[in-house]
Amino acid sequence: MRQDARLKLEQRIVTAAQQVLARHKAVSPIDVLTGIGWLPPGRVEDWRRGRTDHLEEVAQASPQRLAAALDVFHAWAGSEGLQPNEVPYVGATRDRRPLRFTAAGDPATEQAYRTHWTSPALSPTARERLVEKEGAAPDLVVISSLRDWTCAECGGTGDFLVMQDAGPLCLTCTDLDHLLFLPSGDAALTRRARKASTLSAVVVRFARTRRRYERQGILVERAALESAEEQCLGDEAARLQRRERDRERRADQDLALMARMTREIIRLFPACPPARAESIAAHTAVRGSGRVGRSAAGQALADDAVTLAVIASVRHEDTDYDRLLMSGVARPEARAQVRPTIDHVLNTWRTHP
């Protein structure tokens, strides 16, 4: 690189870094590369969502120029007395895979990209909070589909899908089908429900007029939503919203199917608590959910379909499965870890009381 070109690059990098540092008290390589226009924000989002193999693939500069910019940035940060902190980068994918920055995957370069720099004026406590926030795993994203689609694993469909390497997957195949949809609109309710939910996901929909994905709400666990609603009951608007949501839930449920399925669950698992059997039936029989209870086998109350519904309930409510997924454990491995617990519960419930 020519001397004058290098000087211009250094000036652009320092200016971008100073602007970010002044706003956020911390600055990262991605902040700088985005600031100088080498990383389009939309393409960075694609990378975070696991849609590209590495960050270099979406950059509007060669790997050599990226490396030169990285050297300039780190030299400036060191000269300014900024504090280095390595931050993990994981994808907003179901398996929470580590993200790659370069095609070659050189460990030193990958670490350089992961290193964020914080202001020396921050207290140790403030720095720790900031680094923890920057290193938080991104939200899982579920798409509210505008068109017909087919699950790449089971061939089913539904209102929501999750994009993975193999293609679109339904909520059942991504183990998110036990979550309830909470529409946007009540910030307090959303915040409390998300905080209380072990597993959650953000729901987005593509807006054709604006040509971008826009947030529609979140998926959260039933218990978390009910807890959040209880906390919001002091607000009249929240009470009205809950009554309306309860009315919609009741309208969506096929009560006759739920009653028949409850009886089948108890027939197959005599020791299953009646309230639990009713809860399983209510969940799996929700109309339009694409769950086992709405399949042809489920509505025919086939033994295998009913058993699958019970297994799904035990997996999410009686094991650490959801916590394993949120910690980054791959779905097959997480299922293998909790299988002994599931087998124990099923064997216990099969025994006549």
**β-pair partners for 191:** none
Q: Which of 214, 237, 252 is the last residue of a domain?
A: 252
| Average pLDDT, integer, range 52-68 | 90
Same domain, 242 and 144: yes
Same domain, 127 and 147: no
Instruction: Report the mean per-residue pLDDT for the chain.
Output: 86
Of the candidates 154, 82, 74, the residue with the CA atom closest to the CA atom of residue 114: 74
User: pLDDT tens digit string along 136-152?
Assistant: 777 888 999 888 999 99
Structural domain ending residue among the three candidates 134, 168, 194: 134
Out of 108, 134, 160, pick the residue that ends a domain.
134
Question: Which distant-in-sequence residues (6+ apart) come within 8 Å of 158 by Cβ?
Answer: 151, 170, 171, 172, 288, 289, 290
- Which residue, among 257, 255, 261, has the nearest Cα to 305 in the 3D structure? 261
Residues 95 and 152 in one domain: no
**Given pLDDT bands bounded at 50, 70 and 90, which one contains residue 110?**
very high
- Residues 230-257 have pLDDT tens digits of 888 767 676 677 778 777 766 665 677 7
One domain for residues 166 and 48: no
pLDDT (0 to 100) of residue 289: 47
Same domain, 186 and 213: yes
Give the pLDDT confidence score for residue 30 in this predicted structure.
93
Based on C-alpha coordinates, what's the Rg of the chain?
Answer: 24
Range of the domain at 60: 3-134
261: region left, alpha or beta (phi > 0 left; psi from -120 to 50 alpha): alpha
In the prediction, which pLDDT does 297 show?
Answer: 44
Q: Number of folded domains in the chain?
A: 3
Does residue 261 share a domain with residue 246?
A: no
